Structure 1
Amino acid sequence: TAVSSSRFSTTTEPQTFPNRPLNPADSSTSSSSMSFQTSSAAGDILRQERKNPRAEYQGEQARLRLGWSEEAMIAGAKEVGISPSIVGSFPRKEAALVEFFMDDCLQRLIDRIDSGEELQDLIPSQCIYKLVRFRLEMQAPYISKWPQALSIQAHPLNVSTSFKQRAMLVDEIWHAAGDEASDLDWYVKRTVLGGIYSTTEIYMLTDSSPEFRDTWLFLDNRVKDAFDLKKTIQEATYLAEAVGAGMGSSLQGFVG
């Protein structure tokens, strides 16, 4: 069963966001139908676990130990009574698992936005801070294995889907903050926010403070700086470079 959302998909079909401006020069990266199918199949295993709290807990512990790997998928299949042989049908095993997780997290973020919970009275900077933090908190249980996930996303065969998923995440957050830009400002804002997200994500990997307290302070400062008009141009340049660093050179220090 595919991840259901009226607003996003990793299929090759172009997506339309209801009542929202499109990228002025939209050329969204396509991903193969096989990629979507394998992500969906990997998702079936995880959704089956959620029907049984004990299976969900045990499955989560197995994934934490095994990381984003074929072994983790086999363990998950066994936990929910699915033949492990199904994993062999996934040509992009680890990537399918990571991509499903990213899609699932995006759907949860969309649900949070649509609920209007704690967002209606916030100014844009507060809204962005809250949503970026909410999204990154989803990765907290897997933080010890997240460098592996970033490495998988950065692989040449997977990077286009990874970029598209992150672009949709950034777009959703900006729309939730009330942005309706459709000109050059569209690119600048998303570059800045993409940089904020990526640098905070990398910072989180080395944060040993209780409940990632230092990470959230780092995020708060980055958001405030981005909304400081005196620093906008400088920050945009720095954060644009950080996007590449988040998926490239900075990652090397964690994966060897």
Structure 2
Amino acid sequence: MIEKEKMLEAAIANVPFDGWSDATLIAAAQDCDLTEDEARAMFPRGALDLALAYHRKGDEDMVARLNAADLKGMRFRDRIAAGVRYRLEVADKELVRKGMAFFALPQNAGDGAAALWATCGLIWETLGDNSTDLNWYTKRATLSAVYSSVVLFWLGDESEGNEATWAFLDRRIDDVMKIEKIKGQARDTALYKAFMSGPGKILDSIKAPGAPNPNYPGRWEPKDTGNKE
């Protein structure tokens, strides 16, 4: 694990010049006195795994900041805004800019979307969201749209302390809260209740993903043969 952290740190220094690429992977390996094969053993998909490792490191730093912050006096919409802000504050604009170009490639788009979804999921979960129904999806989808637009704004923001970005973030969060308010009001209407007791009842069957199936490929555990030493 320590070697992977050193590799990522070395890669980060090369990304501004070579982007998230095999050239960055090889340069990082050389900086860490590793062979290319040793580096690829740690990052089998090369630049893609490096870029995802950087993204996950940012997620971990964001969660640590959220857990350490005193958010008790904040409105929930401000807690969500804090999560997005913390995530951007632990990121480097140039590395994110290179990452946007990298994940825009068709072969990387799926992993990029999954990384974005995971980030927004972590914000909700860290702030205590325990929904397991359709709301699990709608909350993450809505925040993903907000987060994406804020990142694009942030990348072009030259205001002092990124103040323009934080103002833009507040406006977008306000839009989300308006949608949530409308959804809440709609649930109390006779039309909504009639829909949910009829054709909309199928929505009740939509559940959040459970724990990974232990029988999926990629997991191995020794089989108990019953033999005793």
Q: 1:85 & 1:179 partners in 2: Cα distance? A: 42
Residue aligned with 1:102, SS: helix
Residue number among 176, 181, 192 corresponding to 2:131 in the alignment: 181
Task: Tell me whether 1:117 sits opposite 2:104 in the alignment.
Answer: no
Task: Tell me whether 1:103 sits opposite 2:62 in the alignment.
Answer: no
Residue aligned with 1:157, SS: helix
Task: Tell me whether 1:48 sits opposite 2:6 in the alignment.
Answer: yes
Q: 1:154 & 1:134 partners in 2: Cα distance? A: 24
Q: 2:96 & 2:68 partners in 1: Cα distance? A: 29
Q: 1:200 & 1:228 partners in 2: Cα distance? A: 18
Does the C-alpha gap of structure 1 residues 165 and 60 become closer, same or farther in structure 2, counting only changes over 3 Å?
closer
Q: 2:29 & 2:68 partners in 1: Cα distance? A: 36
Deviation at 1:129, TM superposition (A): 0.7
Does structure 2 retain, via aligned residues, the 8 Å contact 1:70–1:87? no
Map Cα deviations across residues 107-152 of structure 1 (whole Å, 9 max, x no partner). 2223333x3422233221111111111111222x2x2343331232
| Aligned residues with identical type, % of pairs | 25
Amino acid at match of 2:3: D
Deviation at 1:194, TM superposition (A): 0.8
Does the C-alpha gap of structure 1 residues 232 and 210 become closer, same or farther in structure 2, counting only changes over 3 Å?
farther
Q: 1:225 & 1:172 partners in 2: Cα distance? A: 21
Q: 2:12 & 2:105 partners in 1: Cα distance? A: 25
Aligned length: 182
Q: 2:137 & 2:180 partners in 1: Cα distance? A: 19
Amino acid at match of 1:209: S
Q: 1:215 & 1:198 partners in 2: Cα distance? A: 12
Q: 2:102 & 2:159 partners in 1: Cα distance? A: 27
Q: 2:142 & 2:58 partners in 1: Cα distance? A: 21
Q: Which runs of 5+ in 2 are unaligned?
A: 184-229
Q: 1:120 & 1:59 partners in 2: Cα distance? A: 38
Map Cα deviations across residues 25-62 of structure 1 (whole Å, 9 max, x no partner). xxxxxxxxxxxxxxxxxx834x2269xxxxx6x76443
Equivalent in the alignment of 2:34: 82
Deviation at 1:215, TM superposition (A): 1.1
Q: Which runs of 5+ in 1 are unaligned?
A: 2-42, 51-55, 234-256
Equivalent in the alignment of 1:92: 45
1:15-54 equivalences in 2 (<5 Å): 44-45=3-4, 47-48=5-6
Deviation at 1:223, TM superposition (A): 0.8
Does structure 1 retain, via aligned residues, the 8 Å contact 2:157–2:165? yes
Higher Cα radius of gyration? 2
Does the C-alpha gap of structure 1 residues 187 and 78 become closer, same or farther in structure 2, counting only changes over 3 Å?
same
Does structure 2 retain, via aligned residues, the 8 Å contact 1:225–1:231? no
Does the C-alpha gap of structure 1 residues 70 and 230 become closer, same or farther in structure 2, counting only changes over 3 Å?
closer
Higher relative contact order (CA 8 A, sep 6+): 1
Equivalent in the alignment of 1:131: 83
Task: Tell me whether 1:154 sits opposite 2:104 in the alignment.
Answer: yes
Residue aligned with 1:179, SS: coil
Does the C-alpha gap of structure 1 residues 125 and 165 become closer, same or farther in structure 2, counting only changes over 3 Å?
same
Which stretches of structure 1, 4 residues or longer, exceed 6 Å deviation after superposition?
Answer: none
